[in-house]
Amino acid sequence: MTTAITVAPARLGEFTVIDVRTPGEYAGGHVPGAHNIPLDRLDQAAGALRTAAARGPLLVVCASGARSEKGCDRLAALGVEAVSLDGGTGAWAAAGHPVEHSAGSRTPWPMDRQVRLTAGSLVLAGFVAGLARPPAHRLSGLIGAGLLFSAVTDTCGMAALLGRLPFNRRVAGAVSFQETLARLAA
């Protein structure tokens, strides 16, 4: 089971902070000093994270705390101890704590907004197409079933797919994944 903690800015230096959101989300605002290792790349970063954890505790963050808890569980399976920031960067910022933005980078919409746009567009397309060809209404039903499954399982396949799109993977001016690994292993 993942431990979620609240950290005051004065104690932040005690941790190596790992942000598991997409590079685009990270660039839009992150806990000061956080390193960006997207959730789907934790396995690739295991060696560097093990080295960082040997120096001191890891604090894993995301937007709300859901992905960071999954990240902590994944790291535990890899033999790396970590704790999750309770409420993620959203709670951090809401408490009035500082948030860093990647300099000169253009950031995409937050992932939850991208999911709402994509799901809503597909539901509308299914409805409109269904007016001409009734079987097309199935698209709306499939998206609804996917959203229901997402809510019940606390996973989101659509977010996983959207996170792989180029505008979510690479942010101009951002530190590369390989450079982040080198910094963690140093």
Task: Provide block-wise average pLDDT over 10 residues at a time, the chain (186 residues).
Answer: 84 95 88 95 96 97 93 96 95 94 71 91 96 94 94 88 82 82 93
18, 31, 48, 62: the active-site residue: 62
The predicted pLDDT at position 107 comes to 65
Cα 107 from Cα 116, distance rounded (Å): 17
Annotation says 72 is catalytic: no
Helices then strands, each counted (H, E), the chain: 9, 5
The predicted pLDDT at position 165 comes to 86
Domains of the chain by start residue, with CATH? 4-103+175-185 (3.40.250.10), 111-162 (no CATH)
The predicted pLDDT at position 111 comes to 82
The predicted pLDDT at position 178 comes to 93
The predicted pLDDT at position 89 comes to 94
Beta strands in the chain (DSSP E): 4-5, 16-19, 35-36, 58-61, 83-85
Helix ranges (DSSP H) in 97-176: 111-132, 137-153, 157-162, 166-169
The predicted pLDDT at position 169 comes to 74
